[in-house]
Amino acid sequence: MMTRLLCAGAIVLAAAGAGRAWAVQEPAKKAYILGGHFLARGGRTATLEGPPAKSRVVVIEFPSFDRAKQFYDSPEYVAARKVRAGAATAQFVLVEGQ
């Protein structure tokens, strides 16, 4: 069985404002609709090698690579990215593994 993970790290620069709650809730609903399962969502981290991690980490498992991509490109997540713009920098990595 192949595992498809969307891993995101975000460094928060400033509060995202009034739209922040919506920006988090709507994409989370979309992830569940597309079969996504949150494996990690901003919990405790420890850097074991390399420079210390400075970001909030989110890991979502999807049933397929295409579903993960569909989540990232969804209108709900595109709107959330607009709310986050200027308030945080982020990196998203989609990984297909076994």
pLDDT tens, residue order, the chain (98 aa) = 555 655 665 555 454 444 455 456 677 777 878 888 888 887 888 888 998 877 777 888 888 888 889 988 998 888 888 877 777 777 888 888 77
Residue among 57, 60, 70, 53 at smallest CA distance from 28: 60
Longest dimension (CA), the chain: 41
pLDDT of residue 1: 54
Q: What is the pLDDT of residue 18?
A: 44
Q: What are phi and psi of 57, to 5 degrees?
A: -110, 135
CA dist 97 and 62 (Å) reads 11
Sorted by sequence, the CB contacts under 8 Å of residue 86 that are 6+ apart come out as 13, 14
pTM attached to this predicted model: 0.75
Structural domains in the chain, sorted by start: 3-97 (3.30.70.100)
Strand partners, 11: 89
Distance, CA of 62 to CA of 68 (rounded, Å):
6
